[in-house]
Amino acid sequence: MRKEVGDVLETGVLFRYGFDGARKGHWKAKAFESALSEKLGVKYCHLCSSGTAALSIALAACGIGAGDEVIVPPFTFLATIEAVINAGAIPVFSEIDETLCLDPKSIEAVVTPRTRAVITVHMCGAMAQIDQIRRLCDDKGLVLIEDACQAVGGTFRGKALGSFGHMGCFSFDAVKTITCGEGGAVITDDSNRYLLAAAFSDHGHDHIGNDRGLENHEILGANYRICELNAAVGLAQLRKLDCIIETQRANKKAIKDALNKYSEVRFRHLPDPAGDSATFLSFLLPSETRARQIAGALGQAGVDGCFYWYDNNWHYIRRWDHLRRLSSPAPLSITRLNHPSACDYNNLSLPQSDGIMSRTLSMQIKLSWTPAQLQQRIEAICGVFARD
Ligand SMILES: Cc1ncc(COP(=O)(O)O)c(C=O)c1O
């Protein structure tokens, strides 16, 4: 990583475009884009400043905007929903199933003549029923965007998560599987969407020729550019991805094998267990009461990194009070649409998702555990299940 970052610092060219002579052949953003598209088996990749930016870019490049309905899950990071609202579109919530991702049956139930897209989120490192969701979107003529921000390195039947939809989005923020510090990417096989994404994320620049001052602007856009320093970090990180996933899988397997003997534990449904990137071990308990009891006991036993999402105000809709109120410093177009489906999020009812999330715990899988620490952790976890 120091070498990649050093290359950039030595030339002093932090901007990802232009300065061809001064940069002495170092194009970190371009190099990361081609390495990532090769790794994920897609034709095109465009890096940007964050996963949130990637979602906004994907929506724009897929032509989703004012008044369009976009089906989203209630279990995600709020960025998924914010990107839809900021595009002027309307998030329409559908239920999740025991994959902890969108339930294909429930998607179908909320499609209306105004639905334009589905954003499926591969939560906690593993896949939605992406084959079924893609089929459904094709049947209904809907755009499919995959929010794979938490799932780089995950696959479904050998194909990269993020590569099933019309566009896929990734985050490389500081807590993701690989990081740029801050950064993101969109991927696609569609050249037109790729060109729109690259232009939209750079004020509409068409990037034709080698004089930025003379470039044309066919569309309005924004600044969602990544800089060379962040890209250099990501490029080095990408080389470690396989090793990171392998370590996560081994650590996860050890804990999962140990938990398997407790009949009350039901693991999250993984449509293809071999493609799990293994950032989390998620499981369901028989009741909300039992889930709360186990979450408390794990905390007391010193088992860190356990999440009871039902009470978490980042990831599950139940505690997104500001979304329910649509609080914003400036008027949102969604509130001015006068649209029958501009949802009353205060009265939204998602009983299937509540039933699942109120019983679900997720344990973070770390890379840094020594074999002894992993063993200690397993003993502490088993102690809780055996005792409480
Ligand atoms: C599912 C999901 N989508 C989008 C994002 C946004 O990514 P970023 O933090 O890079 O903006 C995150 C980040 O946590 C995420 O978990």
The predicted-structure confidence for 326-385, as pLDDT tens digits, reads as follows 999 999 999 888 776 557 888 899 999 999 999 999 999 999 999 999 999 999 999 999
Of the candidates 328, 266, 318, the one whose C-alpha atom is nearest the C-alpha of residue 294 is 266
pLDDT, average across residues 241-250: 98
Would you place residue 161 in the very low, low, confident or very high pLDDT band (cuts 50, 70, 90)? very high
Query: Is any ligand 1 atom within 6 A of the Cβ of residue 73?
Result: no
Q: Does 121 contact ligand 1 (Cβ within 6 A)?
A: yes
Q: How confident is the model at residue 387 (pLDDT cuts 50, 70, 90)?
A: confident
Cα gap 111→130, rounded to integer Å: 17
Q: Does 1 have pLDDT greater than 90? A: no
**260: pLDDT strictly greater than 90:** yes
- Candidate of 167, 169, 171 to mutate for ligand 1, largest count of ligand atoms within 8 Å of Cβ: 171
Distances (CA, A) of 375 to 42, 235, 280, 282, 327: 39, 33, 17, 19, 46
Question: Residue 242, exposed/middle/buried by CB under 10 A (0-12, 13-18, 19+)?
Answer: exposed
To test the pocket of ligand 1, the residue of 52, 178, 182, 320 to mutate (highest count of ligand atoms within 8 Å of its CB) is 52
Q: Is 184 in the pocket of ligand 1 (CB under 6 A)?
A: yes
In order, the DSSP letters of 173-218 are BTTSSS--BS-EEEEES-HHHHHHHHHHTBTTB---SS-GGG--B-
State if residue 150 touches ligand 1 by the CB under 6 angstroms criterion. yes
Report residue 150: phi and psi, to 5°. -100, 10
- Is there a catalytic annotation at residue 159? no
Provide the pLDDT for residue 346.
85
| 8-state DSSP, 295 | H
pTM of the prediction? 0.97
Residue nearest to atom 8 of ligand 1 (CA): 51
Q: What is the pLDDT of residue 344?
A: 82
